[in-house]
Amino acid sequence: MKVLIVIRRSPAQRFLVKLHTDELTSEVIKLVENKKNSKAMVTALTKGRFDKVVEEDELPHVEADLILTEDGASWDIKK
């Protein structure tokens, strides 16, 4: 599963991370379901495989299963 992590600072930082095991995917999903988005972000960043930094002009072309911010999470509707 691929996760786009968005840290809203000035300027915003966006990281694409691959969750490479089912166990890790389940852990992040459970944290999101329990509204622990910050912890889910940290878990994905520390345990997942970093793919790349996503620039603003790349956003329309990024394929991610989950978009995660400090305030919320959304499943990519393109999939």
The pLDDT assigned to 10 comes to 77
The pLDDT assigned to 78 comes to 57
Tell me the per-residue pLDDT of 17-74, one tens digit each, with 9 for 90 and over: 999 999 999 999 999 999 999 999 999 999 999 999 999 999 889 999 999 999 888 8
Residue with tokens 């691959």: 18
Nearest 10 degrees: Cα torsion 31, 32, 37, 43: 50
Strand-pair category, 2-7 with 66-68: parallel
The pLDDT assigned to 75 comes to 85
- Domain-wise residue ranges, the chain: 2-75
The pLDDT assigned to 77 comes to 56
pTM of the model: 0.88
